[in-house]
Amino acid sequence: MSEQILENPVCVSLLICDDVYQDIRTRKQVIVGTFNRINCEALPHHHPRLVVVFAITDTRSAVDLALSIEHEESGDPLVDVKGPFNSTDPLAIHDLVIELGNIEFQFEGKHWVMVKSNGEIIGQRPFWVVRGSDSEAHLPEQQP
């Protein structure tokens, strides 16, 4: 018997935002308030709402998708959402919206949003949690 090789889909986009809603007239998704930094007064910080939007394509079979948020330095997982996803049309693009509430950030610094398929990272995006009133001073320098 031949062993079936699971092919992971391709993540073609990944955004972090405040909200997503569907326009009634056009039926298009509207993405509101994208960001890559969360400012807070103190830690731990309870962030009331965060939405992750990602798109995958090249799906050829059922896969186990997972979305996680981790603190880079400690590896501490803050969120870990998992579930099956099934599509056999490799040309289809699937827009997925995950709403998360009341996330507790223990540490400032770089965090990662990661999309995994069958345990393998297929997309990731960093963001920073910054404490204090002068948030800009704590950000890493941006590359041109």
What residues make up the domain containing 109?
Answer: 10-132
pLDDT in tens, 69-121: 999 999 889 999 999 999 889 999 999 999 999 999 999 999 999 999 999 99
Q: Is residue 77 part of a domain?
A: yes
Q: Is residue 52 part of a domain?
A: yes
Q: What is the pLDDT of residue 2?
A: 45
Tell me the three state secondary structure of residue 54: strand
Q: How far apart are CA 26 and CA 39, in angstroms?
A: 34
Output the CA torsion sign for 28, 83, 47, 140: negative
- Report how many domains make up the chain: 1
What's the CATH code of the domain at 50?
Answer: 2.60.40.2550
Q: What is the pLDDT of residue 28?
A: 93
Q: Is residue 140 part of a domain?
A: no
Q: Is residue 85 part of a domain?
A: yes
Q: Model confidence at 50, in pLDDT bands (50, 70, 90)?
A: very high
Q: Is residue 139 part of a domain?
A: no
Share of the chain above pLDDT 90, in %: 79
pLDDT in tens, 5-38: 568 999 999 999 999 999 999 999 999 999 999 9
Q: Is residue 4 part of a domain?
A: no
Q: Is residue 1 part of a domain?
A: no
Q: Model confidence at 144, in pLDDT bands (50, 70, 90)?
A: very low
Averaged pLDDT for residues 40-57 = 96
Q: How far apart are CA 142 and CA 126, in angstroms?
A: 13
Q: Is residue 49 part of a domain?
A: yes
Q: CA nearest 104: which of 61, 40, 52, 59?
A: 40
